[in-house]
Amino acid sequence: MRALLRAVLHLRLLRLAGWTCFTLALLTHVSDRHRPVVGRWSVEATATIALALLVWLVLAFRRSNGGARTSAVLFDAGLLCWGVAYLWAALAARPNAGLIFDLNVFGSAIPGAVVLDWFAMALVFAAGMVALWRRRLVSPSAALLVVSLGIVALLGEGAARLHAVIFPATEGFPTYSSALWIRRYVTLNRAGYRDTEHSLARPPATHRLLLVGDSYVYGIGIRSMDGRLGEQLGRDLEQSTNVRWEIVNISHPDRNTLDEIQMLDSSVAYRPDIVILIYVFNDIDYLYRVTERSVLTEAPRSLVQIAHPVRLLYKNSFLFQELYVRFRAVTISSRGLGLPDPYADSRLLEHHVNDVAKFVAVGRTVTEVVGVAPVELRITDDTAAARRYRAFVGAGVRQGLPIWPTDDVFRGRGIRELSVSRLDGHPNELANALLARALADRVVTLCCVHATAKRARSGS
């Protein structure tokens, strides 16, 4: 057994095994677009894969000179951990096979790969320190400083990764912790929405309500779907009417009004009795940037953006992400995003409200009852948010939109009481419960009004 281990280390088979895993993962990659090579890879991807295969051939046939030094063994073990982690991530989710094209070496949202990547970082760091010590490239005092700082950074990185794997949480910004949360708690139906399966044919003796929106309706930060707006609204309606209600949830994070029109248009086949749009104040983002967009959140357009130092750190380090989102939260709370208010521009607001009217028009092709419920959790804490709210509601009413105001729902309650966490401003279970109760009351009232009108028409 010892002889076999010595042979493995001497021939540096750990290094070859790690690079083999990485190369296999690359071969599973499928480029997003521009696939001239075997209908699968872009030119850039093909060049990278060819280079990986060339390195594999060199590692496979190059003979090792002398015995295996400690630094080489540590490096090879680190490369093996990294290769296995990369292959693991690629097999778990096909897009992960292309992480290296984004210079994402140690970042992943696959729990096992997250841990293995940390071991790879630690082993490669240890290999570097041993090599420096053996070659006396730095003084003992400098070496001690580097080792100390490296250990602290590795321990912090390991703690951040372990916490994200065990206790994933949404953080109001694209992080690996948020991605791990989605992986653990979100299940999509065949239509691609976070909802149960629904047949086009309505179940007997059942009213159907179509709820459309973005991350608020999706339930970012809410682990159980029972705590979301749609599920709570369904229960409230059934208690108030003694009739079964089916809530069809058509929502997805980071969607704007134009997206929601398309989502509704593709869902009218459900033939709902009621359509409700949960309007959030970044729905205007397609006309004027409201949601923060940066080199950290958007797909890079050039090698300069890919190699941006902050982006490299953000993509490869859980610790840096945790520090960044906390610094960002403090900065935003003190001075905001620093973006102008598009709702203060009357022409821009009119254009936007006309688009919301198109949503209402699509809804009215299948039902008379369509509601637009604007939601703003900061209505109490933020005068600018309250001003935006009044501007949109006023413009919508003037346009004749069926606006269902919800400002009184959250009055007297602060954002911390209503949001998921200090980092994530999405509505929590309490906020969803309050909104569900208000919407249920509105629906019941409208149902009574329509029933009375229908009886009056039939009587005449």
* CATH number, position 256: 3.40.50.1110
Q: Tokens 């791990």 appear where?
A: 180
Q: Does 44 fall in a domain?
A: yes
Residue 240 sits in the same domain as residue 284? yes
Residue 186 lies in a domain: no
Within a domain: residue 264?
A: yes
Nearest to 288 by CA among 388, 219, 382, 381: 388
DSSP of 243-276, one letter per residue?
A: SEEEEEEEE-SS--HHHHHHHHHTTGGG--SEEE
What pLDDT score does 61 carry? 82
At 173 the pLDDT is: 92
Domain shared by 74 and 160, yes or no:
yes
For residue 41, give the DSSP letter: B
Q: Which of 173, 44, 26 is nearest to 99 (CA)?
A: 26
- Say if residue 29 is in the same domain as residue 121: yes
**Confidence (pLDDT) at 69:** 81
- The total number of structural domains in the chain stands at 2
Domain boundary among 144, 167, 190: 167
- Domain match, 148 and 239 both: no
Helix, strand or coil, per DSSP, at residue 455? helix
**Do 102 and 150 sit in the same domain of this protein?**
yes
Does residue 311 sit within a domain?
Answer: no
Name the DSSP letter for residue 403: B
> What's the length of the chain?
460
The CA distance from 132 to 370, in Å, is: 70
Q: Does some domain include residue 183?
A: no
| Shared-domain flag, residues 7 and 101 | yes
What are the start-end ranges of the H helices in 93-212? Answer: 111-135, 140-166, 176-185
Evaluate whether residue 418 is within a structural domain. yes
In terms of Cα–Cα distance, which of 41, 43, 23, 38 is closest to 100?
A: 23
Q: Exposed, middle or buried, 178 (CB in 10 Å: 0-12/13-18/19+)?
A: buried
Write out the two tokens for 27: 């071969």
- Interacting residues of 25 by C-beta distance below 8 A, sequence separation 6+: 83, 86, 87, 89, 90, 91, 96, 97
Residues 140 and 58 placed together within one structural domain of the fold: yes
pLDDT at residue 120, as a whole number = 97
| Residue 346 predicted with pLDDT over 70 | yes
- Per-residue pLDDT reduced to its tens digit, 123-157: 999 998 888 777 776 677 777 888 899 999 999 99
What would the two tokens of residue 214 be? 């973005």
- Name the helix (H) or strand (E) containing 370: strand 369-375
Q: Is residue 316 part of a domain?
A: no
pLDDT at position 116: 97
Mean pLDDT of 81-103: 95
**End-to-end Cα spacing for the chain:** 96
* Residue 303 forms part of a structural domain: no
Of 119, 144, 167, which marks where a domain is finished? Answer: 167
Let me know whether 101 and 55 are in one domain: yes
DSSP tally for the chain: helices H, then strands E: 17, 4
Instruction: Give the DSSP letter string of 9-71.
Output: HHTTHHHHHHHHHHHHHHHT---SS---BTTTB-HHHHHHHHHHHHHHHHHHHPPPPSSPPHH
- 165: pLDDT strictly greater than 60: yes
User: Are residue 206 and residue 76 in the same domain, yes or no?
Assistant: no
Domain that holds residue 10: 2-167
Residues 30, 129, single domain; the answer is yes
When pLDDT is averaged across residues 360-364 and rounded to a whole number, the result is 97
Is 254 in the same domain as 366? yes
Summarised one tens digit per residue, pLDDT across range 284-319 is 999 998 887 788 888 888 888 888 999 999 999 999
pLDDT at site 302: 82
Based on the number of CB atoms within 10 Å of its own CB, is 260 exposed (0-12), middle (13-18) or buried (19 or more)? Answer: buried
Q: In this predicted structure, what is the pLDDT of residue 20? A: 96
Asked if 284 and 354 touch (Cβ cutoff 8 Å), the reply is: no
The residue with tokens 């949202």 is: 109
Q: 179-193, 199-213, 334-348 — which is least confidently predicted?
A: 334-348
For residues 406, 412, 417 and 422, what is the CA-based torsion angle, rounded to 10 degrees?
Answer: 90
Alpha helix (H) residue ranges in 266-370: 303-306, 309-316, 318-335, 346-363
Looking at the fold, whether 108 and 218 belong to one and the same domain comes out as no
Q: How far apart are CA 257 and CA 282, in angstroms?
A: 9
Cα separation values, 134 from 6, 68, 127, 146, 147, Å = 21, 14, 11, 15, 14
The mean pLDDT value of the chain amounts to 90
Domain boundary among 140, 167, 194: 167
